[in-house]
Amino acid sequence: MTKIKVENVTKIFGKHINSALKLVEQKKNKTEILKQTGATIGVNDASFSVNEGEIFVIMGLSGSGKSTLVRLLNHLIEPTSGSIYIDGENISKMNKQQLRTIRREKMSMVFQNFGLFPQRTVLANTEYGLEVRGIPKEERTKKAEQALENAGLLPYKDQFPSQLSGGMQQRVGLARALANDPDILLMDEAFSALDPLIRKDMQDELLDLQQKVRKTIIFITHDLNEALRIGDRIALMKDGKIIQIGTGEEILTNPANDYVKTFLEDVDRSKVLTVENAMIRPISVNVEMDGPKVALKRMRDEEVSVLLAVDKRREFKGYITADDALEASKRGEKDVNGILKADMPVVPPDMLIQDVLGVISESPTPLAVVNENKLVGVLIRGVVIQSLASNTEEVTRDE
């Protein structure tokens, strides 16, 4: 279900907005428009949708327009043109009271600088949004304590922000946002000010928390590794334009242009790509139908020395080698069940490549890729290495 829909949204800052808008419609870039009109393009004809319960990451370098875009989503700034829909309602046509209700009840925002009140306790900070909404004291305390419990901070409820580490302060900011029970959580560079180790911990906590609360999250970052780690989908921006939208794997394996390719150069692909992305078509033999002679012919035709074995339902049964098939053929055996080996490691297609590197490096055989007991692919060491080495080419060869 679509939670947020953005249609052809443009934001222009400065004078000569109408002239600049005409140039946007002519597909002129940010630099050309600035030179001709003196106007700055914050967001250039952006269109996308966000699904309910999705972590949608908007990323780009400084000046790419990502923070402007998130402020358009809650209408802190008005778009020059285009429409933004929340649950099918066009917020661009709402009056100030309707917008306040949306911001207070449907959306919460988490900022980079935490935004905590130093004179308030952790609990009082967490209650703040509920207090603004006029929620009675007893009810807001209960909701705030539950949010702190979810964030693992309830024992610290009576302490002040200055008594907490940076990571814990950010968790208080996250708990405060979630205490309102918003449908949508906007996070603008929320972890950027944290040390690398604390930042990774916060990413883990966000993912764990998302499993519990299933909010729709718009997450702004300039860090590609962070985007790849937490995002269900990623929108990559440059000069106010959205260059590409896709999952981490889609962007890694099919970058839209040279800019995206350059952006991806330093990414550790093993932490993003899954087994499904690197596996190849399995060459198999049916244990219920095929005998050693059929197996040997298939090996010759396919130029392989190992066949994976399945039954009629494509359920994985093991593997056979060329040497074993040859000996069985000489003995006059009619099926391959007597020469089946069962020591081939099995991995699921959604497993990260980084998690199978140790297994595949030590295994004398390839790895069988099995989904719900059915053989769907095979993972070969050389193909894995090739997939990690290439930033632009998807591995499709068969073996």
Whether residues 298 and 332 fall in one domain: yes
| Residue 236 and residue 251 in contact, taking contact as beta carbons nearer than 8 Å | yes
Sheet holding 346-347, edge to edge: 346-347, 367-371, 374-379
Whether residues 117 and 38 fall in one domain: yes
CATH number (domain holding residue 356): 3.10.580.10
pLDDT in the model for residue 113? 66
395 is a domain residue: no
DSSP 349: T
Whether residues 223 and 356 fall in one domain: no
8 is a domain residue: yes
Record the pTM. 0.68
Q: Which of 71, 103, 89 is nearest to 5 (CA)?
A: 89
Domain of residue 338 covers 275-389
> For residue 269, which phi and psi values (nearest 5 degrees)?
-65, -30
Whether residues 296 and 265 fall in one domain: no
369 is a domain residue: yes
pLDDT in the model for residue 85? 94
396 is a domain residue: no
Residues of the chain with pLDDT under 50: 391-399
Domain boundary among 251, 269, 287: 269
Distance separating the N- and C-terminal Cα atoms of the chain: 40
Tokens of 237: 């921006």
Amino acid, single-letter form, for residue 30: K
Using the structure block, give the residue that is written with the tokens 């059929």.
294
Whether residues 286 and 237 fall in one domain: no
Distance CA(65)–CA(82), nearest Å, equals 16
Whether residues 223 and 369 fall in one domain: no
Tokens of 53: 């319960």
Q: Which of 9, 28, 56, 30 is nearest to 245 (CA)?
A: 56
Whether residues 231 and 300 fall in one domain: no
Whether residues 293 and 192 fall in one domain: no
In the chain, which ranges are continuous DSSP H helix?
Answer: 17-25, 30-37, 66-73, 96-101, 122-132, 137-150, 166-179, 196-213, 224-230, 248-253, 258-263, 275-278, 292-302, 322-330, 353-362, 381-389
> For residue 347, which phi and psi values (nearest 5 degrees)?
-135, 150
Could you give the C-alpha distances from 370 to 61, 108, 308, 356, in angstroms and in order? 39, 41, 11, 14
397 is a domain residue: no
Whether residues 156 and 98 fall in one domain: yes
241 is a domain residue: yes
Ordered DSSP codes for 140-190: HHHHHHHHHHHTT-GGGTTS-GGGS-HHHHHHHHHHHHHHT--SEEEEEST
Whether residues 261 and 285 fall in one domain: no
Using the structure block, give the residue that is written with the tokens 């604390």.
198
pLDDT in the model for residue 390? 54
Distance CA(39)–CA(386), nearest Å, equals 46
399 is a domain residue: no
Domain boundary among 269, 297, 326: 269
Whether residues 35 and 89 fall in one domain: yes
CATH number (domain holding residue 162): 3.40.50.300
Amino acid, single-letter form, for residue 35: K
List of residues 6+ apart from 175 with CB closer than 8 A: 126, 144, 147, 148, 150, 151, 153
Whether residues 66 and 147 fall in one domain: yes
| Residue 244 and residue 258 in contact, taking contact as beta carbons nearer than 8 Å | no
State the virtual CA torsion across 25, 27, 30, 34 in degrees, nearest 10: -60
pLDDT in the model for residue 112? 67
Ordered DSSP codes for 178-224: HHT--SEEEEESTTTTS-HHHHHHHHHHHHHHHHHH--EEEEEES-H
398 is a domain residue: no
Domain boundary among 269, 290, 305: 269
- Total domains in the fold of the chain: 2
pLDDT in the model for residue 392? 39
